[in-house]
Every structure is written in C-alpha cells, then in structure tokens.
Amino acid sequence: MKKIILLSTIASVTLMAGAYKIPEQSVNAMALGAAYIAHTTDADTAYYNPANMSFLDPEVRYFETGMTLAHLPSNTYVGMQGGLPGGVVVPAALASGESETENIPIPYMNYVAPAMGRWRYGVSLAAPAGLTKRWKSPVQKLFAEEFTLKNVELNPVVSYRLSDTFSIGGGLRAVYSEGKVYSDGSLIGLPIKREMEGDTVEFGYNLALAWHPSSDIAVGITYRSKIDLNEEGEANLYLAGAGKQYKASVSVPIPAALNIGISKTWDDRVTLEFVYERTFWSAYKTLDFEYGSPILNPTLSAAFDEPKDKLWEDTNSFRIGLTYQYSDKLTLMAGYSYDETPVPEKHINYELPDSDAHIFSAGFKYQYSDSLTFGAALLYDKKTSRKVNSAVAGGTGLIGEFSDGGAVLATVGLSYKF
C-alpha cells in the first residue's frame, strides 16, 4: 500500500540538505571533500563535470565503482519543548534526548565512453543524499520516531568539445526516492500516531562548462536544476488506537545548485582546487499537506494538517582540495570544506537538527596496473553545536541546544580503463 512521504524527509533527500547531503560520490570526491569540479580526471567526471569528458583520453573507456559507509553519530538535544501538536505543553524535563546511531551503505558507479568525434557520453548511478533519523526519547518520538529516506539518481550525460580549450555538457537527472515516517505521542500521554511510507520518480537536468585556458589551469561550472517532487498516496493517522486512511498529496522542490571551480597544477604533480557552491534552498517555503477528505478531529488536524512555515535560506559552501602525485603509481589527496546550514533557528526540529559544518577529508589512489586503480578515502563532517530559541509565534517551540551529530564517511573504490 502506497503512503505519502512526509515533506521534511523529502527535503532531506535532496542533494543539498546541509546535514545529510552527500556530494562525494567517488574516491576522488570523498578525499577532496567535493572540491572536484574543474580538475576531474576519471570516470567520475561524468557526475562532477560532464563537460570535462571531452578532455579525457578520447580512445579510452573509463569505469569506476565503489561503496561508501556513512556513519551518523547520535544527535543530542538538551532543553525544553515549548509546545506540541494540539496545544499540549510538555515540562522541560521531558524534552532532552539522543537520536539513534546509524550506519548506511551507499554504492556508486560512473562510466565514460570513448569519444565520437566532438561528442562523448557517460552515465552515473549515485545516491547523492539520504537521511535516517530515529528517536526513542518521549518528546522527540512524537515528531520523529523514524525518518528514513533512500534515493538513487541515474544521470546520463553528454559533452561536446567546441575547441581545444572549451567544452560544454549536460544531462538528465532521474531521481527515485522512497521514504518512511513514523511518529508516536503515547509516551507523553498524547495518543496520536502516524505511519507514512511512499516513493516517487521525478526528473530534472544538469548543465556543465569546462575551460582549460592553459595546461596548468582549469575552470569548471556546473548547475543542477530544481526538481519538484509531487507526492501522492495515502496517510494512516491514529487517535487513541483507532486509525483512518486519507488520500494525501504534497509538493516540495529539490533546490537548484550552482558550483564554480578553479584549479591550478604545478609540475604535473600538485593540483590545488577551490570550489564555491550556492544552493538555492529558499525554494523551500512551506510544509503543507492536502487531504482527500477533511480531518475532523482537532488534535489530528493540528498535528498533521496545519501548514508549517519553513522559510529555508540559500546557502554557501566553500571547498578546497589538494592532489599530490607522490609517484607514478600513488596519488595522495586531502580537502577541507565549510558548509552552511539552510535551516533557520525558528524552524529547526528533530527530523533535521542541522547546523554549520567543518568538513575534513583525505585519501589515496594506487595504480595497480595500466588498467586497474584502487583507492580509499575518509571524510569527517563536524557539526557545530547550535543553541535554539524558537518558542515564538510560528516557531517549533524549542529552547535548548543541539550538539554532536555530524557524519563519518569511508569510501573504497576501483577504477578500470579499457
């Protein structure tokens, strides 16, 4: 039975959710902290800047596959909850809690075909973001007993070489997502519950530009379009153990994102790249479910039917990556990024307790033979602690502090040329 996905979970699946985005979809990108737009050199060029496919060896097929394990430590909240759905007020002693720790495997694949004149094509299979957030503490369980989102993006792309130094590219984004939302207020004496699951397939596009003005400088620009996820299904809502199913729908945009990268190489051995990313999260304004029939009970209506302002903000990310060709076979990489959160203080909540992040990464590649290369990378996403005071009109009612959280990601991969 298909059910509707809660909007905030869908938002978290998008490429750009601050706490749960996964822009790193290869060993190179993981090791460089996604400072990998201008100087892309392997099969993952198809994903990070398809225009650069034109500058790879035209007679070679490039293939890469691998796996990332994402470890999400628990988030800690210490503070008060000023109010709950239905106007129920909860004492401060009930508001503190910790989310569950999560471990999520994330596969990826990239392929670039040989050139056909000035044209070249490739394809990527990626999981650019996801979220699993579970709370067992009483207050948090009402809002986010479980929020799980899985998604896969298939991205076929092409490039066209306009000159020896300039190329353009682009492709189709086909995103499949499925999500689960459970919540339960019984532990705080509020007998309401929801069980929602669903999936959707939506489409967008990406565009890319690559300019190599000299052998040691590269410039790359990529743009990923906004995608409106239009979910339709059913929602099962319960009051005092009695449930009713409703037809339900909701629409939320995946925001557009712009990346600009520039790299400089010295002596064909050391490459430094800087990337600026702008994510247009201001497209996410309101959480508003529509139902096929009215929800007559005022408690359920207040909890699940009233529109909720989100008013998220456009964000900036700044990334820097260093690549060092240590020897003919061994390449070393490291990166640092600063990532802003899109979630304003007034609207922060338990399903996405996000904050600004400092991201550190490192990795290596080893060329085992002329055809085969393997590598590994590690990334640490350090979230800053965040004090919140959203107990104002239209806010989420939180007065306290979120800490811990973040992520540790480990990637292993194989690349093959033939």
Mean pLDDT, residues 193-206: 87
| DSSP 8-state secondary structure symbol assigned to residue 377 | E
Quick one: the chain helix, strand, coil %, rounded to 5? 10, 55, 30
Which domains does the chain carry? 7-417 (2.40.160.60)
User: Length of the chain, please?
Assistant: 418
Distance of alpha carbon 117 from alpha carbon 13, whole angstroms: 38
End-to-end CA, the chain: 45
For 300-358, the pLDDT digits (tens) are 887 778 787 888 899 999 999 999 999 999 999 999 999 999 989 888 888 888 899 99
What is the value of pTM for the model shown?
Answer: 0.89
Which of 388, 415, 362, 399 has its CA nearest to residue 33? Answer: 362
For 240-285, the pLDDT digits (tens) are 888 888 887 777 778 899 999 999 999 999 999 999 999 998 988 8
Higher per-residue pLDDT: 153 or 20? 153
| Backbone Cα Rg of the chain | 23
Confidence of residue 88 (pLDDT cuts 50, 70, 90): low
Which of 168, 18, 48 has its CA nearest to residue 108? Answer: 48
DSSP letters for 349-372: -TT-----EEEEEEEEEEE-SSSE
Mean pLDDT, residues 67-91: 77
Distance of alpha carbon 160 from alpha carbon 54, whole angstroms: 7
Res. 376: pLDDT tops 80: yes
Distance of alpha carbon 36 from alpha carbon 18, whole angstroms: 18
Amino acid at 203: F
